[in-house]
Amino acid sequence: MAEEWLEKLARQIKDKERKGAEESAKSKRRIQVVRRKGPAYWKSFSEALRKDVDDLKELLDGDVTLAEGPLTFAMDSSSLQITLAKTAFPSVQFTATPQFEKERGEISYQAATSRPDPGSPTSMSCKFEIRNDDRISIELDGKSFANSQEAALFVMEKLFRLPTSKKAYSQDSHLGRVGSE
């Protein structure tokens, strides 16, 4: 039988260190799930982005905006880095690299601009989440996406949302303010 002081020590360890050990075990488990299931989700996300880019190219086919500002998409098979760019009209840049062991991705982008040199990129937060049923989802800029196609749509809308022009208003003495179309 263990000596009394060893039993007391074991109780103290269990009482004081359990919470930290449980958190460590949960973190290791999350990383294992992300390493195992994350690449499939990321590839699905990449394919959804590729499809959106291909559809946009088709819709712009023959238009001067595509001829003067080509639209490209690539995914590196070893690093799984996604690169999407439109060189001009509008100029757009997007790079995303998963870091499964850190449960996140590194994303930088430059949203639509009419300038050929868009300036410095902005970062987008990207975290992998594990749902209760061990399914993977992704959080982009604080919005959670279980469906990779919805995540791709979010990215495309963020990249290609063109600034809206403000309506010009004129003051007519007998009509009040009138917006021009």
36 lies in some domain: yes
172 lies in some domain: no
Rounded to the nearest 10 degrees, the angle between the axes of helix 148-160 and helix 4-60 is: 60
Query: pLDDT at position 174, please?
Result: 47
125 lies in some domain: yes
41 lies in some domain: yes
Least Cα distance to 86 among 57, 47, 58, 55 occurs for: 57
Query: pLDDT at position 26, please?
Result: 85
Query: pLDDT at position 134, please?
Result: 85
Any idea what DSSP says for residue 100? G
Any idea what DSSP says for residue 2? -
170 lies in some domain: no
78 lies in some domain: yes
Q: Give the predicted TM-score (pTM) of the model.
A: 0.77
Any idea what DSSP says for residue 70? -
Per residue of the chain (181 residues), give pLDDT as tens: 568 888 888 888 888 888 888 888 888 888 888 999 999 999 999 999 999 999 999 999 999 999 999 999 999 999 999 999 998 889 999 999 999 999 999 999 998 876 655 567 889 999 999 988 889 999 999 999 989 999 999 999 999 986 655 544 444 444 444 444 4
Domain extent, residue 126, equals 7-160
H or E segment to which residue 148 belongs: helix 148-160
Query: pLDDT at position 1, please?
Result: 54
CA distance 101 to 31: 6
Query: pLDDT at position 2, please?
Result: 62
Query: 3-class SS at 1?
Result: coil
175 lies in some domain: no
Under 8 Å between Cβ of 122 and 107: no
Token pair, residue 108, equals 């930088």
- Residue 25: how many other CB atoms lie within 10 Å: 10
CA distance 17 to 147: 38
17 lies in some domain: yes
| Cα-Cα end-to-end distance for the chain | 90
Token pair, residue 97, equals 């690299």
Split into its structural domains, the chain has a count of 1
